[in-house]
Structure 1
Amino acid sequence: MGRKTVSTKLYILDTNVLLHDPLAVYQFQEHDVVIPMTVLEELDRIKDRHKDVSRDARVAIRTLENIFVDASPEMIQDGLPLANATEQHASGKIAIFADHTLDQQAKSFTADEPDNRIINTALYLQKLHEPRSVVLVTKDINMRLKAKGAGLAGVEDYRSDQLIDDIQFLAKGFNHLEGSFWGRVNDCESVSEGRDTYHKISADLLEGAYINQYIIDDTQSFAARVINQNETEITLQDLGYERLMGRCAWGVHPKNIYQAMALDALLDPDIELVILTGPAGCGKTLLAMASALELVIERGIYSKVIVTRNTPEIAESIGFLPGSEEEKMMPWLAAVTDTLEVLHRQDESMDGSLHYIMDKANIQFKSVNFMRGRSIQNSFVFLDECQNLTASQLKTIITRCGEGTKLVCCGNLSQIDSNYLTAVTSGLTYIVERFKNFEGSANVYLNGVVRSRLASFAESEL
C-alpha cells in the first residue's frame, strides 16, 4: 500500500475480527485497512467447516471478493478505495498484503503459525510506514500480548460493535432508588384510568429513564413502570409493590421483587420482547416457561410455544443423533424439560401431566440453525442461552417474529462459551442496549440466586 499522510492510520485485521464482523472492513472511516494473505487462507479453511463461524467466513470472503472483483494485482497490493465499494462511511483504502514474501530478516517470529505471520506483517508495515500509526486489530488476547511484546506499538481489540465499555454499565431494566420515592417528588399529577393509576413527574427526578424501565425504592411499598417520557416529563404506571409481588403464572409466585418485575413483563402481551439476564439459578427459565404455559393454555393469547437455543455443536453432531429434529434437540434443551418437571412435580402422574401439557401448549423444540427464513405468527418464542449468539444471529431470530408473537430472550453473560464473544460484544448485551427505548420491549436483570443455598454460595464465592 502506498504511503499516506500520518494523520490516518493503517489497520491490519486478524481473522477473528472478520469472523466476528464480516463487514468489519467498513468500520474504520478514513483510515486504511490491510488484510494479510494468511487471513484469507484461514477464512478459506474455516468456510467449509460445519460450524456457525463458517457462514461468517463465507460472508467475509464474499465481501472482499466484491471489493476486489475487477482489480488488477497491482491495484490489490496498492489498495482500492472503500468508498467505491459501499454506501457506508468508509473513505480509506483496503489492500491485501502477501505476507509469505517477507524475507527472513524482516521476521520477528518463525512463520510456522498464522498468528506469527500476521504479527510479522504488522511489524514490517510499522517499520515501512514510520512515523504513520500502524495498528493490529485482533480479538485474541494472547496475540495482543505477543504483538506488544514483539515491539508493535499499536494493538487493539475490535470495539466498533461495543455499545458499552464495561458490562457494569449494562442497563438492568430497573432503577432502585434509595429511600422513599415520594420523598423525592415535589410536584406530581396523578390520573386514574379504570384500574390503573398514572403519575406524571419531572424528568429531572429520574435521569436516564427509558420506556418500560421499572422504578422501585427502599420502602417496599412503591413500584412503577415508565410508560412515556420526553425531555421534561415522565409518565409512570403505578404497579404497587404488593400487587407486583402478587403476580402469578402457572402457579409460580415471585420470590423477590426482581422476579416480580420479570413476571409483570412476561405476562403483558403488549410487551413483545422480554430480555431476562442474571446469574445461574435466578429463575430465568422457570419464569419464562411458567409464563408461556399461562399465556398459551390459561389465557389463550398465543397458539403455541416455540423453544429454541444456541447449540454450538449442533451443526456437527445433530445429524448423527437418531430421531426427528425435536428429538435431536432434547440434549440441548434439558434445562427446559427439567423446568417443566419442576412445575408439575406435585402432580399425581408427572409423566402424564408433561405429555398433556406438551400437547396442550403445542410446545415445539427448534434449532436456531433452522429459524432462518421462517415467519412465526401468534406464538410464544423462548430463546434460551442467547449470550452465545452474535448481534446478527439475534437479528435473524427477532426478524422472524410476526404479528401476535412474543419473544423472550434469556442468558447469563458470565457463561459465554463462544471463542469470539465477550460480555460486552455478546448479542444479548447488544439487544439490551438497542431495545431499551423501544416501547414494545422490557429488560430485567434478575438479581439474586434462588435455586438453592448451595447454588447461591457457589455463584458468589467461586
Structure 2
Amino acid sequence: MQKVFVLDTCVLLHDPKAIFNFDDNEVIVPYAVLEELENKKRLLDEVGRSAREAIRLFDQLRQNGQLAEGVSLPDGGTFRIELNHYSENPLPLYSDIKLPDNRILAVALNLGREDERPVIVVTKDIAMRVKADALSVKTQDYYNDKISLTSLNDDVIKLELKDSEVNGLYQIGHISLIEPKLPNSCAKGLLSDGTVIPLIVSCDGTKLIKLHSRNKDHWGIVPKNIEQTWALGILSNPQIKLVNLMGPAGTGKTLITLASALEQTIHQDLYTRILCARPVIPFGKDIGFLPGEKEDKVRPYMQPIYDNLEFLLRPKQDKLRDKDSEALVESTVDLLKKRKQLEIEVLTYIRGRSIANQFIIIDEAQNLTAHEIKTIITRAGEGTKIVLCGDPDQIDHPYLDKESNGLAYVASRLKGQSFYGQVGLLKGERSELAARAAQLL
C-alpha cells in the first residue's frame, strides 16, 4: 500500500534532496516547513546552503505542475505542498498552533483522518518524534543516510604464517598473497609461538607489508599498540591519500596524526604545509561571542590541537622551567605559521578552496555530515593527503548519530579503494585514569 510521508524541516536541512528517497510513495512538505526554510536561507553556514538548495529544488518542480496539487517524482511517487488545515485544530487543548512543529503535526493528524493510507511523520528531531507518538501519529527517523558499520575488529585480517613467509617478511619486507585482499587493510601475522606481527595489505591488494612497530621516524613518537602501528604505517604511505582514524577519546588519533604530519612536512619535505581544522561545535553551554581578531576567536575551539602540538614540540630533554618551555613551544608554532608550514583553521573557511601539496587534518570529523565531508575531500588538490579523526560514539551535532555521520559515511563508501585506508583505535593511551574512566563511566 502506498504511504504518505510528511517531512519535518530538519530532514530537508540535513538532506535537501530527501523528497526523492521515498520510492513510489507520496511526499508532503507542510507550508510551515517552507516558512522555516525561508527563515534559514540567508544563513551563511551549511544550514543556509541546505535551505537554499531545497527551495531551488521545489522551484524546479513547479515546472511539472502546481505544487499544491502534487507533481510526479522520478521513482513514481508524488510530491505536494500541503496547507495547515486551520479549519479544525486537532491538537490537545492549549497547544500553540503558531509553533512550526505543532502546525506540522496538525497537518499529519488531519491527513490521517482524511486519507486511508498510512501517514508517517519523518523527522530527525527526537522531541518531535515523542510528541508525534503522544498524538498517536506514526513517526520515524530519516533512514536513507543510515550506515551500518561493522565492529572495528571485524575488518582486521588474521593470517597464520609459515616459517618461509616469516623469513620473507624479515628479508624483503613483504610477501605476495595468493588471493588478493582489500587494499590497505590491517592484518595480523600469527606465529606458532603466539607472536603477532603487524602487517598491512598493499595498495593493489596483492602483498602483505611488514610494519616496524618500534620505528621512531614519526617525530620521535613510538606506537604503543598494534592499532597505532597500523595507523602510523598508513599515515606515512604517500600513496594513501585519504585516511580515516576512528576510536574513543585518548587513543592517540590526533597526536600520532600530527606527529606524522610534522615528520613528513618539516623533516621529509613531502608536503608544503600542515592544515589543521575542526568543526566549531562547543561542548556544553556556549559562552557567546569571543573577543579579539580571528586568531583569538578560533583559539579556544582549536585548543586540543595546540595541546598536542605542545607535547610534540616540547624539547625531549626538557630541563627548562614550565614558563620557558611554553614560550619556546609558542614561538615554534608562530615560526611554523610565519613560514606557511602550519595553518590552524575552522572548517567554515574551507569551502571554495583548492588545496594542493598539503597534509590536511580534520579533527572531530564525526560531527560532520556526509555532504560536509564530501565538500572537504573535494578541496584536495594534487599531492594532498587528508586525515579524518573522530569517534562515532561521541557526537555533539543535534541531528547526527553513530549511523548517519560523515565519518561512518566515508568508511562505508570508500573501504577497499586503493587511495583510502582506515584504522580503528581501541586502547586508550592518554593515561591510566582516562582509560579506566572511559571504560567504567
Structure 1: tracts of 5 or more residues without a match: 1-6, 84-89, 204-208
Q: How far is the alpha carbon of 1:293 from its aligned partner? A: 0.6
- In structure 1, what is the equivalent of residue 142 of structure 2? 158
1:375 aligned to 2:378? no
- In structure 1, what is the equivalent of residue 254 of structure 2? 285
Classify the secondary structure of the residue corresponding to 1:78.
coil
1:322 aligned to 2:292? yes
Q: List aligned pairs for 1:133-144, cutoff 5 A.
A: 133-144=118-129
- In structure 1, what is the equivalent of residue 376 of structure 2? 397
Q: Partners in 1 of 2:154 and 2:389 — Cα distance?
A: 14
Identity within the alignment, %: 35
Check the 8 A contact 2:165/2:175 in 1, yes or no: no
Q: How far is the alpha carbon of 1:223 from its aligned partner? A: 2.6
Q: Partners in 2 of 1:102 and 1:226 — Cα distance?
A: 66
Alpha-carbon RMSD across the aligned residues, in angstroms, is 2.9
- In structure 2, what is the equivalent of residue 333 of structure 1? 302
- In structure 1, what is the equivalent of residue 6 of structure 2? 12
Q: Partners in 1 of 2:280 and 2:145 — Cα distance?
A: 23
Q: How far is the alpha carbon of 1:194 from its aligned partner? A: 8.6
- In structure 1, what is the equivalent of residue 438 of structure 2? 459
Q: Partners in 2 of 1:263 and 1:452 — Cα distance?
A: 20
Classify the secondary structure of the residue corresponding to 1:410.
strand
- Picking from 100, 103, 121, the partner of 1:117 is 103
Structure 2: tracts of 5 or more residues without a match: none
Check the 8 A contact 2:10/2:125 in 1, yes or no: yes
Q: 1:289 to 1:360 in 2, by over 3 A?
A: farther
- In structure 1, what is the equivalent of residue 240 of structure 2? 271
Q: 1:181 to 1:361 in 2, by over 3 A?
A: farther
Q: Partners in 2 of 1:306 and 1:123 — Cα distance?
A: 51
Q: Partners in 1 of 2:167 and 2:29 — Cα distance?
A: 61
- Picking from 50, 53, 58, the partner of 1:56 is 50
The answer to which of 346-355 and 94-103 deviates more is: 346-355
Whichever residue aligns with residue 157 of structure 1, its letter is D
Q: List aligned pairs for 1:354-365, cutoff 5 A.
A: 354-359=333-338, 362-365=341-344
Classify the secondary structure of the residue corresponding to 1:101.
coil
- In structure 2, what is the equivalent of residue 86 of structure 1? none
- Cα offsets for 1:38-72 (capped at 9, x unmatched): 1112222222345532222222222212212574x
Whichever residue aligns with residue 38 of structure 1, its letter is A
Whichever residue aligns with residue 119 of structure 1, its letter is L
Q: How far is the alpha carbon of 1:188 from its aligned partner? A: 8.3
Q: 1:293 to 1:59 in 2, by over 3 A?
A: same
Classify the secondary structure of the residue corresponding to 2:311.
helix
Q: How far is the alpha carbon of 1:137 from its aligned partner? A: 0.8
- In structure 1, what is the equivalent of residue 416 of structure 2? 437
Q: Partners in 1 of 2:234 and 2:277 — Cα distance?
A: 20
Q: TM-score, normalised by structure 2?
A: 0.87
Q: List aligned pairs for 1:36-435, cutoff 5 A.
A: 36-49=30-43, 51-68=45-62, 71=65, 75-83=66-74, 90-104=75-89, 106-108=90-92, 110=95, 111-130=97-116, 132-152=117-137, 154-164=138-148, 167=149, 169=150, 174-175=155-156, 177=158, 181-182=160-161, 195-202=172-179, 210-216=182-188, 219-227=194-202, 235-239=206-210, 243-246=212-215, 248-312=217-281, 321-323=291-293, 325-346=294-315, 347=318, 349=325, 350-351=328-329, 352-359=331-338, 362-435=341-414
Whichever residue aligns with residue 123 of structure 2, its letter is T
Q: How far is the alpha carbon of 1:414 from its aligned partner? A: 2.3
Q: 1:171 to 1:69 in 2, by over 3 A?
A: farther
Whichever residue aligns with residue 227 of structure 2, its letter is Y
Q: TM-score, normalised by structure 1?
A: 0.83
Check the 8 A contact 1:274/1:441 in 2, yes or no: yes
Q: 1:190 to 1:127 in 2, by over 3 A?
A: farther
Q: Partners in 2 of 1:318 and 1:275 — Cα distance?
A: 32
Q: How far is the alpha carbon of 1:144 from its aligned partner? A: 1.8
Aligned length: 423
Q: How far is the alpha carbon of 1:155 from its aligned partner? A: 1.8
